[in-house]
Amino acid sequence: MNNDTHPSGAPWRNFYGRFKGKTLRPSQEVYLDEDLAALSPGPVSWEENPDRTAIDLTDVFGAVPLWLEIGFGGGEHMVHQAAANPGTGLVGCEPFINGVAMLLGKVRKAEVDNLRIYPGDVRNLFDVVPESTFDKAFLLYPDPWPKKRHHRRRFVTQEYLVPLHRALKPGAEFRVATDIPDYVRQTLLEVPKAGFEWLAQGPTDWREPWDDWISTRYEQKALREGRVPHYLTFRRL
Residues annotated catalytic, as ranges: 143
What CA–CA distance (Å, rounded) separates 177 from 188? 12
Buried b (16+ CB within 10 A) or exposed e, 50-65: eeeeebebeebbeebe
Please answer whether residues 215 and 209 qualify as being in contact, where contact means their C-beta atoms are separated by less than 8 angstroms.
yes
**Chain Cα centroid distance, residue 9:** 24
Sign of CA dihedral 87, 217, 23, 125: positive
Distances (CA, A) of 161 to 97, 144, 151, 222: 24, 16, 14, 25
Please answer whether residues 79 and 102 qualify as being in contact, where contact means their C-beta atoms are separated by less than 8 angstroms.
no
What CA–CA distance (Å, rounded) separates 36 from 221? 28
What CA–CA distance (Å, rounded) separates 62 from 48? 23
